[in-house]
Structure 1
């Protein structure tokens, strides 16, 4: 796997980065929910997170929002914890609770991905750890974040909730070193989804990594 080195765009203290992440947590949860196809508006997301019932929103979409809230809270609370496969599984257990076939454990069967003929192999724990360590050894934090998100999303490590989990881990990589926030904004979703499908098909990072660097790494 050939990686392009991206210079870090942001330079904050961890405390400052966590502050901005908490301040924008509703927006980040909304962006992640839309990325996964949840049919909610920003005001509905805000209302759900405030604990008020929202008529017309499905139970599944409400659960998606609340699970994302819990995953973000856990990630920010444990921002200094080492990034290991066990930690990634813990984040998934928060993201996909009561949604996926199993949560908090690696997928042990085959899955397909809508819109592409690509079939990701069943995850092998030893191979995942090798790839994770390879990504975490990259020179810039921003490169680690981008390539982790792309590799983990295409690998489909879990039965469901892969983009959400990958987004949370990409954020942990950035925030734990004060290098910004990773988010796919709603205005970029159409182009992002088209590039992601092409990436699923060919596994060519060069067709999407520049897009993520330019549009999805946010500084404050």
Structure 2
């Protein structure tokens, strides 16, 4: 995958199931010790979530939100009011050339002439996925589960991923997961293991850890960074991770994550660091600043 655009970059190396009691292979250790207020060592963070982070470098207080009984309804109302912009920014970050007025026209059901069918499909898929997130939220059905993630991925990446709605290795195709950095280098992907056992185990580790995180802002940022770093799917990982993280935030009355196209460079730099060093601090701080 391309760190900036989720572009497929071929297959990764063979994966080996983690022996009991040992760290998952492939997470390089370049720092030791604990961060202030964090009970986990860096090695434990990498083993459980595949990422390292420092809360002192992440300002969760900037995340917008409401208080009171109607907090969730208000966050969903803001989400619906800004949906066209959210879809447009998400598409532009993937290299889509649709302008905001063109996105609004397309979402109104009018075909925009002179645009590639692939770009049109991408915009419509994003809109469908965000609408499904809205439906899940309003029906009280949103959960941080693989089933929900697969459902959203099956919509947002249905025209792009080799197999949408499934983790890498669950279908007929093996490999994948490699990422090309914006600087041109390539980071080998996490192989999925026999019967996708490694990726499923990693997802379960992630959700088990998040069950113990009381602050929904921290939970959302951790999920987004860890799911992006793991590359659970062949394509559309960042988009799906942001959808899931937005669900976590809106469930608590906070605003959804929407990274503006104007901050593409910042996203690329933070993603390069995430994939090359496993340090998610910069990426998580960017996402927090883009949830208001």
TM-score (norm 1): 0.91
Q: Is the 8 A contact 1:31 1:184 kept in 2?
A: yes
Instruction: Give the 3 Å change call, closer, same or farther, for CA 107–55 of structure 1 in structure 2.
Output: same
Q: Among residues 123, 141, 149, which one is paired with 2:224 in the alignment?
A: 149
Matched, 1:22 2:97: no
Q: Deviations over 1:75-109 (max 9, x none)?
A: 11111222211110011011111321101100122
Q: Give the whole-Å Cα distance in 2 for the aligned partners of 1:97 and 1:206.
A: 30
Q: Which residue is 1:11 aligned to?
A: 66
Q: CA deviation at 1:153?
A: 1.1
Alignment partners' CA distance in 1, 2:285 and 2:131: 29
2:122 corresponds in structure 1 to 64
Give the TM-score normalised by the residue count of structure 2. Answer: 0.70
Unaligned runs of 5+ in 2: 1-44, 46-51, 170-174, 193-198
Separation of aligned partners in 2, 1:136 and 1:26: 32
- Partner Cα separation in structure 2 for residue 207 and residue 23 of structure 1: 28
Q: Give the match for residue 120 of structure 1.
A: 189
Cα distance in structure 2, aligned partners of 1:55 and 1:78: 33
Query: In terms of mean alpha carbon deviation, does 180-189 or 201-210 score higher?
Result: 201-210
Query: Match of 1:102?
Result: 163
Structure 1 runs, 4 residues or longer, greater than 3 Å off: 5-9
Unaligned runs of 5+ in 1: none
Aligned length: 217
Corresponding residue of 1:53: 111
Q: Tell which structure's C-alpha radius of gyration is larger.
A: 2
Judged with a 3 Å threshold, the aligned counterparts in structure 2 of structure 1 residues 56 and 107 are, in CA distance, closer, same or farther, namely same
1:32, 1:167 within 8 Å by CA — same for their partners in 2? no
Q: Which residue, 210, 215, 219 being the options, matches 1:135?
A: 210
Report deviation, 1:9.
Answer: 4.6
Distance 1:100 1:53 in 2: 24
Superposed counterparts of 1:177-196, under 5 Å: 177-196=252-271
Moved more, 80-89 or 1-10: 1-10
